[in-house]
Amino acid sequence: MPLVNTTEMFKKAYEGGYAIGAFNVNNMEIVQGITEAAKEVNAPLILQVSAGARKYAKHTYLMKLIEAALIETDLPIAVHLDHGDSFELCKSCIDGGFTSVMIDGSHLPFEENIALTKKVVDYAHERGITVEGELGRLAGIEDAVNVSEEDAAFTRPDEVEEFVSRTGVDSLAIAIGTSHGAYKSGRKDPKTGEVLPPALAMERIHQIHERMPNCHMVMHGSSSVPKELVDIINQYGGKMPGTFGIPLEQIQDGIRHGVRKINVDTDSRLAITGAIRKVFAESPEKFDPRDYLKPAREAAYKVYVERMQAFGQAGHAGDYKPITLADAKKFYK
């Protein structure tokens, strides 16, 4: 099956009341873990590549790994640029075979964000490629994205309709208090000093969905950061105090109110790191990379299966005949 864009994915997710997990890839083991999990649960899939991952692994290597995954799984897979920060980067990924891109102009004033996003949309839609925009800014660190809590800003529901209509984006990342990384909260109990869970503005998702029920929203920074994965890292020499994630219950509430794409990266990083630390601690004589990368891949695989089931995408790979990019060009015209 050839690579697809996200048009039919989001359409069927909307009709079925579920969301598609978008998982970041950096190397072979991660690609294998994600796609093998998707094959196991029969799920459509979005593989995300950040600018940092593309620089680390090189564009051609990543695309060839994904090409192999298509052959091995025969699943509908979209390849998506995560947090593209310029027209030139988005264009490079589109020209290089990506089927979906995100243009993140959230750091710009509203009108400039619209202008940049529309420029990318115009170029992408002529080629059948879907585009994700962003309104509001998420805090946290992920690859080249580094936004302080002071600079973070929630999405304003009253701006969404204008932004979507003027840009033509296919989906929209919204900021409601989620953040990138494993440290998702700067809130502390004033009495004890203990770190508290992040406070999410879920009502903003509800308001946007009420205003625009067909708007496909995206939740970034939505790893759940399970305590058991952090505990494994700390048990075997890591130092990760005060971590917090996004509860699955809140993510599922978002799905019921129009969220169609959930970004997950940190959870798999935690699983991989814990598994590798465990091998090194228990078997310090090991030096063959296969001895620690295999359990790392298996640990990540379990996370992916759990998330695909929790998001509702499991069992839906065969729900539709994916639109080819050639058909998508006609759709946009």
Supply the residues annotated as catalytic.
82
247 to 143, 230, 252: CA distances (angstroms): 23, 15, 9
Closest CA to 186 of 132, 143, 147, 239: 147
Number of CB atoms found within 10 A of residue 330's CB: 10
Rounded distance between C-alpha atoms, residue 304 and residue 40, angstroms? 10
Residue 70 buriedness (CB in 10 A; 0-12 / 13-18 / 19+):
middle
Rounded distance between C-alpha atoms, residue 258 and residue 208, angstroms? 8
E-only strand ranges, 95-200: 100-103, 130-135, 139-142, 145-147, 171-174, 179-180
Rounded distance between C-alpha atoms, residue 264 and residue 250, angstroms? 14
Rounded distance between C-alpha atoms, residue 114 and residue 120, angstroms? 10
CA 227 to chain centre: 21
Rounded distance between C-alpha atoms, residue 272 and residue 238, angstroms? 13
130 to 18, 57, 100, 148: CA distances (angstroms): 19, 24, 5, 29
